[in-house]
Amino acid sequence: MEQVATKRRRIFKKRIPKETQQPEINGFVAPGFEPVLEMFKENFEKRGELGAAVCAYWRGEKVVDLWGGWRDAKRQLPWNEDTLIIVFSTTKGMSALSFALLHSQKLFHYDDKVAKYWPEFAKNGKENITIRQLLAHQAGLCAPTRPLRVKTLLNNDKLAGILAEQTPMWHPGDHQGYHAWTIALYIDQLMQRIDPKKRRLQQFFDEEIAKKLGIDFFIGLPKDIDGEQLAELVPFSKLHFLLKRDPTRNSSAMKLLKPWSLWFKALLNPRFTINLRNFNKRKFQALPIGSACGFGNARAIATLYNEFALGGIKLDIHEDTLAELESAPILPLKWEKDLVLELPIHFSLGMGKPSTHLNFGTNHRSYGNCGAGGSGGFADPEKKVAYAYVMNKMGTAIANDPREVALRNIVWNCINNLENNE
Residue 14 pLDDT: 41
**Is 11 domain-assigned?**
no
Q: CATH no. for residue 131?
A: 3.40.710.10
Per-residue pLDDT tens digits for 70-95: 999 999 999 999 999 999 999 999 99
Domain limits for position 192: 23-420
Mean pLDDT estimate for the chain: 92
Per-residue pLDDT tens digits for 122-178: 999 999 999 999 999 999 999 999 999 999 999 999 999 999 999 999 999 999 999
Residue 240 pLDDT: 61
**Is 265 domain-assigned?**
yes
pLDDT higher than threshold 50 for residue 12: no
**Is 336 domain-assigned?**
yes
Per-residue pLDDT tens digits for 273-308: 999 999 999 999 999 999 999 999 999 999 999 999
pLDDT higher than threshold 80 for residue 252: no
Per-residue pLDDT tens digits for 335-380: 889 999 988 999 999 999 999 888 899 999 999 999 999 999 999 9
Indicate the SS3 state at residue 204: helix
**Is 111 domain-assigned?**
yes
DSSP E strand stretches across 193-323:
217-219, 294-296
Helix (H) or strand (E) holding 389: strand 385-391
Residue 16 pLDDT: 43
CA distance 231 to 234: 9
Residue 143 pLDDT: 93
Helix (H) or strand (E) holding 376: strand 376-380
Residues above pLDDT 90, as percent of the chain:
84
**Is 17 domain-assigned?**
no
Strand partners, 65: 28, 55
Strand partners, 242: none
**Is 9 domain-assigned?**
no
Residue 238 pLDDT: 66
**Is 2 domain-assigned?**
no
Determine if residue 265 is left, alpha or beta; phi over 0 gives left, psi from -120 to 50 gives alpha, anything else beta. Answer: alpha
Residue 7 pLDDT: 36
Residue 48 pLDDT: 95
Between residues 12 and 34, the one the model is more confident about: 34
pLDDT band of residue 11 (cuts 50, 70, 90) is: very low
Sorted by sequence, the CB contacts under 8 Å of residue 323 that are 6+ apart come out as: none
User: Domain tally for the chain?
Assistant: 1
CA distance 247 to 397: 9
DSSP 57-92: EETTEEEEEEEEEBSSTTS-SB--TT-BEE-TTHHH
**Is 6 domain-assigned?**
no
Per-residue pLDDT tens digits for 14-43: 444 555 578 999 999 999 999 999 999 999
User: Residue 201 — φ and ψ, nearest 5°?
Assistant: -55, -45
Find out whether 309 and 384 touch, Cβ atoms under 8 Å: yes
Helix (H) or strand (E) holding 212: helix 211-213
Where is average pLDDT lowest: 109-123, 184-198, 233-247, 310-324? 233-247
Residue 259 pLDDT: 79
